[in-house]
Amino acid sequence: MFLGIDTSIGTALALLSKGGEVLYEVQSSDTRAHAEVIGVFIEQALEVADSHTASTGENLRGVVIGMGPGPFTGLRIGIAAGRALAFGRGIPYFGVCSHDAMADLGKVGTDVRRREHAVSHYDTSGVRIFGPTLIQNTELAEDVHKLSEISAINLARLGGYLAENSEQNILTPFYLRDADAVPQLKKEGGA
C-alpha cells in the first residue's frame, strides 16, 4: 500500500493497495484549512490501512508527498505531516512534483496567488519537459489546464515506481518565489 498526500492546492489523500485498488480517498478544496483537516484525514487513512493489513497482510510501504509548487504554508503542512507519518511508521517517504500527478493533461498550471500560476508541460509519455515555473496570469496560455485539485490517487500510484527508482525522489519543495518573511538586521549600536 502507498499513501499519497498533497496540499499544494487543497488537501488530498489517497490510499492504494499493491494491486492499485483505491482503499481510501478524501479531498478538501479549502486552500486555507490544511492544518485543520490533515490530521483527521491521515487518521482515517491509517484506520483503513490497518484494517487492510489485518485482512490481507499487506503493509503500508511508503508515503508519496506532493512537493509543490504551491503556497509555502500549505505545502509545509502536507510535507511535514507526510514525513512525520513515514518516520513514525518506519517506512520511506517519496517526494514528487505535484504537477507530475496530472502529467496526462500535457500542460498544467496551479494558482499560486499574487496573480501568478505555476506551470509545467509534459510530453505524451508523461515526462516533464518544462517547469514548474511562474507565469503571470495575463501571460498564461489558453491550452494550460488550470488545476483546482491534485490527484492523490495518481500520487500514490507513483509510489511503486519511486520505491524502485529512488534517484527520482524529490526531497526539496518547489517554492518558486522567495519567502515573504525575512529576518530584520540589527542596527549598529542599537537594539
How far apart (Å, rounded) are the C-alpha atoms in residues 44 and 139? 41
In the sheet that holds 62-66, the strands lie side by side as: 22-28, 11-16, 2-6, 62-66, 93-96
Res. 186: pLDDT tops 90: no
Quick one: pLDDT at residue 143? 95
Quick one: pLDDT at residue 190? 56
pLDDT tens digits for 28-37? 999 899 999 9
Instruction: Quote the Cα angle for 95-101-77, to 5°.
Output: 45
Superfamily of domain 2-99+149-168 in the CATH hierarchy: ATPase, nucleotide binding domain (3.30.420.40)
pLDDT tens digits for 41-98? 999 999 999 999 999 999 999 999 999 999 888 999 999 999 999 999 999 999 999 9
Quick one: pLDDT at residue 180? 61
Quick one: pLDDT at residue 170? 81
Return the domain boundaries, the chain.
2-99+149-168
How far apart (Å, rounded) are the C-alpha atoms in residues 3 and 136? 33
How far apart (Å, rounded) are the C-alpha atoms in residues 108 and 124? 13
Taking every pair of Cα atoms in the chain, the longest distance, rounded to a whole number of angstroms, is: 68
